[in-house]
Amino acid sequence: MTKKLGKQTVELKSRPVIAGAYSSVGKKEGEGPLGKYFDTVYKDEFLHKKTWEQAESELLRQTVFGAAANAAVPFIDIDYIFAGDLINQCTSSSFAIKDFGIPFFGIFGACSTIAEGLSLASMMIDGGFAEKTICATSSHFCGAEKQFRFPLEYGSTRTPTSQWTVTGSGAIVLAKDGDGPKITHVTTGKIIDLGVSDANNMGAAMAPAAADTIYTHLKDTGRSADFYDLIITGDLANTGSNLLLSLLNKQDVDISENHRDCGCMIFDAQTQNVKSGGSGCGCCASVFCGYFYKQLLCKKVKNILLVATGALMNPASANQGQTIPSIAHAVAIEG
């Protein structure tokens, strides 16, 4: 089996291409440091819909349209769409794409969803099952708070390690051929659970999973960390990012120079009152599609390892005192 490198990595010899991408975010995200890079900023958190849940579906729907338009690919040519989100039973995704008529694989990796989608979609293309696919995900601050935490009207105090769910969506068109950044390797995460059970400290829960996947990727590929111009994690935010650097240091891997975290970048933690930083499926997806994809296109960076992390818990598991199993999926991208 020639495509496998080590236990968790595959090499994609055909190098599927990112043919287009699109990002949409809410008002607060638009006011953050990356505001000018996002393709659409919605001022109205309802997107003219009646509920936050319907608003998130509309956000995702419009973002998928944007990605297809950006790649100049007619919908009829899309072989598969991979999508998932944080809302119970991933309904943001199913309602977003229900009228598209595209064969659909629902995926759930919490905030790691965009990398899980890219992993599966690029293997489908490399394996000869598809020529064009779309990967998409989203999150919405109001819908996520209502579902995972408290009614917004309570105005609950937030802990310093907590994260602010991003209202945002990212969608990516992958193609068999063409110009654009290429996906060269996929490293699929295994679940890591070191016993963190504080649902207000997702960064601490997810950092060990990110460290494990990055370390495994480097071992499997024989690359050193400085091969990558950037190693981008999804939403560890400040608390989790510090832990990640420290965990990798213990394994003699230093990514302090080339590490970036979408959860640290999307908001200004000093002025935007987001505590540790941003989170949510839409965080990594919108920052990658809005910012890093364009950095790749204009050749400001060449080699990227995109490592999206997910906390695989729910309110019931947290209330029952369970720990937070976490996962991180990585895709290597060459600009």
Q: Is residue 3 a contact residue for a second copy (CB under 8 A)?
A: yes
User: For 218-226, which contacts have Cβ atoms below 8 Å and span 24 or more sequence positions?
Assistant: 218/253, 219/6, 220/5, 220/6, 220/7, 220/8, 220/9, 220/187, 221/5, 221/6, 221/9, 221/11, 221/185, 221/332, 225/253, 225/254, 225/255, 225/258, 226/257, 226/258
Q: Look at residues 308, 135, 166 and name the one whose alpha carbon lies nearest to residue 232.
A: 308
Q: Is residue 36 a contact residue for a second copy (CB under 8 A)?
A: no
Using an 8 Å Cβ cutoff, are 90 and 106 in contact?
Answer: yes
List the one residue from 40, 149, 317, 334 that touches a second copy (CB under 8 A). 317
Q: Is residue 110 a contact residue for a second copy (CB under 8 A)?
A: yes
| Residue number, 7 or 27, with CB nearest to a second copy | 7
Q: Look at residues 213, 252, 219 and name the one whose alpha carbon lies nearest to residue 232.
A: 213
Q: Is residue 320 a contact residue for a second copy (CB under 8 A)?
A: yes
Site string for a second copy, 161-200 (x = CB under 8 A): ---------------x-----------xxxx-x-------
Q: Is residue 17 a contact residue for a second copy (CB under 8 A)?
A: no
List the one residue from 35, 65, 69, 94 that touches a second copy (CB under 8 A). 94
Number of residues counted as binding a second copy (CB under 8 A): 64
List the one residue from 37, 46, 65, 108 that touches a second copy (CB under 8 A). 108
Q: Look at residues 291, 260, 290, 292 and name the one whose alpha carbon lies nearest to residue 277.
A: 260
List the one residue from 84, 203, 277, 278 that touches a second copy (CB under 8 A). 84
Angle at 330 between CA 170 and CA 73, to 5 degrees: 40
Q: Minimum distance from CB of 203 to a second copy (Å)?
A: 18
Q: Is residue 151 a contact residue for a second copy (CB under 8 A)?
A: no
Q: Left, alpha or beta for 171 (phi > 0: left; psi -120 to 50: alpha)? A: beta
> How far is the C-alpha of 22 from the C-alpha of 39, rounded, in Å?
6
| Residue number, 87 or 274, with CB nearest to a second copy | 87
Sites of contact with a second copy (CB under 8 A): 1-4, 7-8, 10, 50-51, 53-54, 79-80, 84, 86-91, 94-95, 97-110, 116, 119-120, 123-124, 126-131, 147, 176, 188-191, 193, 312-317, 320, 322, 325, 327
